[in-house]
Amino acid sequence: MLTTLMDGLLCCLTGKSANVVVPIETSEPADGYEFVEVKPGRVLRVRHVIPEREVEEEPSGPGGSVHCKRKITVYRNGQLLIENLGDAVRQELLHAPNGEAEPNCTVEVELGDPPSNPTPNPDPKVDKTGSVVGTGGSGARGAATAPAPTLGLAPDLTQQLRKRRRKPKRTVVIDSERKITSCKGTHADVALFFVHGVGGSLDIWGSQLDFFFRLGYEVIAPDLAGHGASLAPQIAAAYTFYALAEDMRAIFKRYARKRNILIGHSYGVSFCTFLAHEYPDQVHKVVMINGGGPTALEPSLCSIFNLPTCVLHCLSPCLSWSFLKAGFAHQGAKEKQLLKDNNAFNVSSFVLRAMMSGQYWPEGDEVYHAEITVPILLVHGMYDKFVPVEEDQRMAEILLLAFLKIINEGSHMVMMECPESVNTLLHEFFLWEPDSPPKSKPRPEITAKRPETAKTPTASNGGATSESQAKNK
């Protein structure tokens, strides 16, 4: 403690940042540690491991596909309206109860100030496995609206809602179809990218990297600038969101295969979202662990990280203790050893301050997230004190195809606390693919004299599926 105070005082007197992170010499070069220069003078440490395996090409089966046709409208009063104009997009809505293909329907989700005396919306239900599956409905922060016969809204109330949204500010139309297949470790065209958050390093993924490497997956995990063994530039502009995102773009382009799965934690989720939006044809699936959102990033003006670097350095023991208390469900010797062994929250005060101040990404708003057509698994630790569960529930509503899994025993560092549970969830998601729609059988002719006619199948409620019915499927 005394050494920390002296270093902080020296930092204030000399104007130089203390505790500068520099690259360390890896003692195990055979384990796949590399130093990659993403830009001149900007070097990141990357763990890249290609297992020795008998390469198996992906089967030529049909796989599963999801048709995406959405209309996203932003109104001048701040409301956001998402209309699903094509096939149902959620896994449980891909087929009607009778097994036939669901006809095109429209599901509207309004996120904004609910009208007076709105229809009550039940809280999302969590099953025994701790899973919540988004169905395009609304959670604690929104109000769901649909055609009047579906939710029982009065005609005059529906007209009022339409009137409030009469001036659109921006309209986005998405029409695409994605083929989603199972990604096995023996497939030569599959790569897994792991991205950590503020204060972490690639070492926090140790359990996941070892687990999937043994299963035959190619794994890539970088250290963000100033973290782990990567170089730590002494300029704040090196730690803005855009600078770090370009680093991740360079890493992705260097190691990307035909099908890539991105796994992000906390702040690292934003970079995975960025890559999924920029490279929709190469990103196959995304995993977001305690990422929160989907609001645009903006640094807090009243944060403790706005204090001078020397003051933060003096407070580093308190910050480390606070991170341990808020990042783990339990604060015992095991958790302290996990932080030490995985090199977590071991960054300089300058880097920590610059990282927190550089979290500015106005483009990453709700519309940006709603445009993503990649299947996404949301993993949330129930005891997370940094990211409330309501944020991940909101994210599940905005995303096109998202599945929320809640781990009751975990907190913010859930992949270190509950590695077996996280690894199992991730592996199941990698192997998941939607069911192919059944082929319709040809209808027989009614009589020999009359021409052949075909009847269009309709859903039991006239082509519209309510939110409550979707959840009960």
The reply to whether 67 belongs to the active site is no
Residue 235 CA to residue 258 CA, distance in Å, equals 36
266 given a catalytic annotation: yes
Residue tagged active-site, from 384, 392, 421, 466? 384
Given 48, 187, 380, 412, the catalytic residue: 412
SS3 sequence, the chain? CHHHHHHHHHHHHHCCCCCCCCCCCCCCHHHCEEEEEEECCEEEEEEEECCCCCCECCCCCCCEEEEEEEEEEEECCCCEEEEECCCCCCHHHCECCCCCECCCCCCEEEECCCCCCCCCCCCCCCCCCCEEECCCCCCCCCEECCCHHHHCCCHHHHHHHHHHCCCEEEEEEEEEEEEECCCCCCECCEEEEEECCCCCCHHHHHHHHHHHHHCCCEEEEECCCCCCCCCCCCCHHHHCHHHHHHHHHHHHHHHCCCEEEEEEECCHHHHHHHHHHHCCCCEEEEEEECCCCCCCECCCCCCHHHCCHHHHHHCHHHHHHHHHHHHCCCCCHHHHHHHHHCCCCCCCHHHHHHHHHCCCECCCCHHHHHCCCCCEEEEEECCCCCCCHHHHHHHHHHCCCEEEEEECCCCCCHHHHCHHHHHHHHHHHHHCCCCCCCCCCCCCCCCCCCCCCCCCCCCCCCCCCCHHHHHHC
Given 138, 230, 266, 411, the catalytic residue: 266
Please indicate whether residue 348 is annotated as part of the active site. Answer: no
Active site residues: 266, 384, 412
